[in-house]
Structure 1
Amino acid sequence: MSGNLPVQSVTADYAQRVADDLAANRSDQERVRTELARSQEELVRLEESEQVLTKMQEVLGGTPEQAAKQRKHRKGGAVPAARGSNRRTAAGKPAAATGRKAPKKTASPKKAGEPTWLELTTAYLGGQSEPRSAAEVAASLTQTHPERTVQVTVVRNTLEQGVAQGLLERSKQGRSVFYHPTTPASAPSGS
């Protein structure tokens, strides 16, 4: 019997180490999940911020390159701000003729007659009785529009665009974000 004692002791030691390693592994998984959720929330906030900044940039009529040039000129103080509708670029061409780039779009190219992502998402949410997450909306659009490449990030950006335009409302439940159509205060029933 004394010969089995060391084997049992070694087996028990290994079993304890495995149990400890398993507990540490599970603890690390939970920590990483928490960090991932925090990072995902931060990414959503950054994407929302980007949308707001892009809209502000569109309203102001500038591109990032033009804003950088304006900052350089302001620091030097040598170039006064542009005036009136005859605004010209540094090359002397009217601003409209410089072929400035349109803001980057996140959706795939739209073919003639295809509804926009915003139209698709608002139509889908309009037919739902409960708020839906971006992932749920994307999954539904994937099923109903298999000819289009549906990406959750594009859908999320589109949903946030709908919120920015007042078409949709956002609500949070814990860490999850859900979207639903706005409830018009006094909308006519015939529209």
Structure 2
Amino acid sequence: MSGNLPAPSVTADYAQRVADDLSATRSEQERVRTELARLQDDLVRLEDSEQVLTKMQEVLGGTPKQTTKQRKSSKGTVVPAARRSNGRTAAGKPAATTRNKSSKKTATPKKAGEPTWLELTAAYLGGQSEPRSAAEIAAALTEAHPDRSVQVPVVRNTLEQGVAQGLLERSKQGRSVFYSPASATPAPSDS
């Protein structure tokens, strides 16, 4: 008869463990949903910033806007832009249609005769013995050019533009990305 006593206790223990696991799973699902929503909002903000910066670049005489097919990672795979349909973002939220002209997203435009962000970053990296992160480069440019508004996203976009043009090289160490001047290679001849 003593063999029958543990069975209800074991069943109750398993039932409690299942209930605890179910509760933990639901909590984790909610945490992941919240994180996903935050990341989707971040993506929308970054896309909006990209549009503003691209327009500024075109106005300032930079290179023309890249198409989605031109946005490639270092391995050559296409990185798609977020899907938008019916004026809504991938997160299902309305897409931003108006811009506040006093928005802090934009950088201070360069004055006539000032070097471009690409020229500044390339010059800075040319004087460095080791690759630097976008944050390190932005900090150095802020110190060197206090009259110009330097923002890490602007610097990062500029660095990626330099990589796309073959002026700079990108390297990864874990999750960190570092930039350095492109290796010196002979220029192709016109003949």
Q: Which has the larger radius of gyration?
A: 1
Shorter-chain TM-score tier? 0.3 to 0.5
| TM-score of the two chains, using structure 1 as the length reference | 0.45
- Tell me the TM-score normalized by structure 2: 0.45
